[in-house]
Chains A and B, each alone.
Chain A
């Protein structure tokens, strides 16, 4: 559909402040009397703390206070209240806060921190869920099962299993009786770091008037506010949280994590704000990490390729605290079907305590980990059935009238994955495959994917909209701008909804819980969908107010009026009209009496009919779906095993493109991030739980020269939920890279991989082994 302001490349509202260096990020904030914290990390990933000696540290220059976890009376968390701001009697991962120094400068704090002495008694370390699940494993959280948790969760007391999630659809595993062929495998997506270029950090200030003020490079100000209020026993309204510009998130700055640690430290120096910003090393070891997922999957099909049954078991190494991992496990488990219809599903997800940093959101939220398995197995199944891999997928797509694993029925408005696949065929498969030469093997592979948000019953987004005296409009929302460009979306959607040029829409710059409308958290690629709906609702209300006032001025009925952004006028006679600028603060009559109302509106929007799953995992927990297909053309150097992605193509049905330049950038960034995960990125924990690569020089993020040529194309089948038919797309671009590239590796060499990353050494070894056969 043609819109006036959607589908156009307007510039980002924040671009100028960012290119001039004037955008304010967390570490750029300076407050009167501000102190700095340095946090001590343990020598062991799992140990009892026998004693902490802070006496030397206290004598160091500039030191105001040395803090330990002793006496901390609470645990916190949104799903399972198992998190602690600082270790008390044991440490459970290598980056855990053990003690902290508050000093006048960061340097003084660091120097004093080095003087703290801690004695430990080491305990066995479990990095992988499969070890921590063994019956004789030492308990990482001995109180597992007794922590407060959401009623939908099922911890197993006396084990390291923090939650078991089950989904059974149709006959479950018995459905395999209907299958003629099965394929199965075990797939590993290792630990990774979101590694935004801005390290995570917070400032917390306990004030003498009993209020708490905090700043964080976070995407969940309202969660932070509620959680701090709960932990420190003050009304929620007495905690004020600010979110400045955020230098990238990709998941790990969600939930409440470092804020509670900084708050605990700051609570010992009331009256003074305390800042802590992670070093890069701490950003790796002491914030949320990603993935850590092993997926066992079995797929059954009829001879003609019709899929009938799927069994998935996800073992998720959740880290030392499981609060932030449980939902990732669930999303991964119920979306492990990939974009296909299965009549029978038996899906289980275990979230397991392990001795790594807590695992949490990472762009893709569980989808890339389990669909890595699905899309590799679909290729294997096609080979086993001797069927074209495109045809196999086309036959089974989760299309109109089919039901997802959760029992949700698909409609035409959920999107057209076939159209996405057709684009990929044209862009990647229409030309002949490059032939092996002296130096290289060449291959191509693809993956069909989908994602739903991971919502919650109260996952609302709010909007305050006010029209100013000149007809310009100020929109205030609480979606965190982490670079994804949601302020551009706000500007364009509001312009379209209000029929005014985007230049007349001023979008909020920071979030402040004191002034911003309530928003649950900016997660799950839901801002465009829910936030956009909230904008349309606010705009509708605002236009209704204008009409209400205009009806009095024009002496007619409201429903006889039309609005075009500049005027409100009679439907049959546009010459009888009143200018919007004359009625947006009410209308002043000739005798100076003001009639009507000020044009301002409040609204919110949720995922409509989102529900909790029942005991079999059935319920409308997806609500909004985005489908797509990605493909890779690769080259493998025979001599070194080095894999180069020459071309990477992505195609999604996004319903409605809001800003072509921005959406292309978003998809390219996500695709490159996932190419990084597939070929280079892995957090290497040794057997003692120490991270051997907590720096950018040994944890390689893709650089300019690693980036392939990118094709990015969209299908636009309007969605029933999102604004003007738009769907979420922020995370989806990370899902298909691993299976597409590994399918391409098979295509090039016949080597079958089940675990990423595929480093040159691994590839070379596999090529050599193949030659020996």
Chain B
């Protein structure tokens, strides 16, 4: 049965009328037409669909939209401020972490969730976060480099 569900998406209140068991990723991509969030698997194993909900990185392909009711959701489209990239976007775009780019939005959102909650996350914590994501292109080293660069940029700005 369809229900009205309201949440904040990238700072804007949004209301959708959907089956509450629909996965959040489908709502974001197909109902609200934000296609930056990607789908790479059928069951929460690749990390491509990661968004930040109430400050925590979650896999939107296994998160029913009812759980987003009243929540604050940020997707990759919500990071840049106009023409200014978020430091994580900037670092990831320059460290060699982008090849095909399909894993990229999910990884950036994972790091965003991590650094917002814990700006001083240790390298081990960063590595544990990255280990939740599959990247078939890069061998991961440039992603780690980008993450460390981003953390430094964010700290310097504070």
Please report A residues at the B interface, Cβ cutoff 8 Å: 11-12, 14-25, 27-28, 30, 194-199, 245-250, 279-281, 482-485, 661-662, 664-666, 668-669, 671-673, 695-697, 701, 703-705, 707, 710
Report which of A21, A669, A695 forms a contact with B137, defined as CB distance below 8 A.
A669
Which of these binds chain A: B52-60, B63-71, B113-121, B139-147? B139-147
Q: In this assembly, does B89 line the interface, its C-beta being within 8 Å of a C-beta of chain A?
A: yes
Kindly state whether residue B151 has any CB partner on chain A within 8 Å: no
| B108 / chain A contacts, CB cutoff of 8 Å | 19
Residue contact B100 to A482, C-beta cutoff 8 Å:
yes
Closest to A29 in B: B35
Say whether chain B's binding surface is mostly helix, strand, loop, or mixed.
loop
Pair A197/B96 contact, Cβ less than 8 Å: no
Chain A residue numbers with a CB within 8 Å of B141 are: 668, 707, 710
- B104 near A199 (CB under 8 angstroms)? no
Q: What A residues does B102 contact at CB under 8 A?
A: 25, 196-198, 247-248, 483
B113 to chain A, nearest CB (A): 16
Q: Bound state CA distance, A385 and B51, in angstroms?
A: 59
Interface residues of B in 53-110 (CB under 8 A from A): 75-77, 79-80, 85, 89-90, 92-94, 96, 98-105, 108
Residues of the B chain whose Cβ atoms lie less than 8 Å from the Cβ of A12: 93, 98
Check A669–B42 contact: CB distance below 8 A: no
Considering only residues 17-68 of chain B, those with a C-beta below 8 Å from chain A are: 33-43, 45-46, 48
Query: Contact mask B116-130 → A, CB, 8 Å, 1/0?
Result: 000000000001001
The one of B77, B131, B140 that contacts A21, using a Cβ cutoff of 8 Å: B77
Whole-angstrom CA separation of A22 from B33 in the bound complex: 12
**A705–B131 contact, CB under 8 A?**
yes
In the complex, what's the smallest C-beta–C-beta distance from A683 to chain B, in angstroms? 16
Inter-subunit contact A197/B46 (CB<8 Å): yes
Contact B105 A197 (CB under 8 A): no
In this complex, how many residues of chain B approach chain A with their Cβ under 8 Å: the count is 50
A661, closest chain B residue (CB): B96
**Pairwise interchain contact B101-A247, C-beta atoms closer than 8 A:** yes
**How long is the Cα–Cα vector from A22 to B36 in the complex, in angstroms?**
6
How many A-B contacts are there with CB distance less than 8 Å? 160
- Say yes or no: A21-B42 contact (C-beta < 8 A), given A11-B93, A15-B98, A197-B134: no
Q: Are B45 and A695 in contact (CB under 8 A)?
A: yes
Across the interface, which residues of B come within 8 angstroms of A703, CB to CB?
131, 133-134, 140
Per DSSP, chain A at the interface is: loop
**Known A197-B134, A248-B137; further 6 A-B contacts with Cβ < 8 A:** A16-B85, A18-B93, A483-B102, A695-B43, A695-B45, A704-B127
A280 partner, pick from B40, B98, B139, B142, beta carbons under 8 A: B40
Contacts of B104 in A (CB 8 A): 18-19
Assess whether B136 is interfacial by the CB under 8 Å rule: yes
A14 to B93, CA, bound (A): 9
Q: B82 CB to closest chain A CB, in angstroms?
A: 11
Q: Which of B93, B99, B127 contacts A19 (CB 8 A)?
A: B93
Residue B155 at the A interface, CB < 8 A? no
Q: Which single member of A20, A194, A666, A671 contacts B76 (CB below 8 Å)?
A: A20
B38 touches A696 (CB 8 A): no
Residues of B within 8 A of A665 (CB): 96, 99, 137-139, 142
Contacting residues, chain A, for B48 (C-beta < 8 A): 197
How distant is B57 from chain A, measured CB to nearest CB, in Å?
Answer: 15
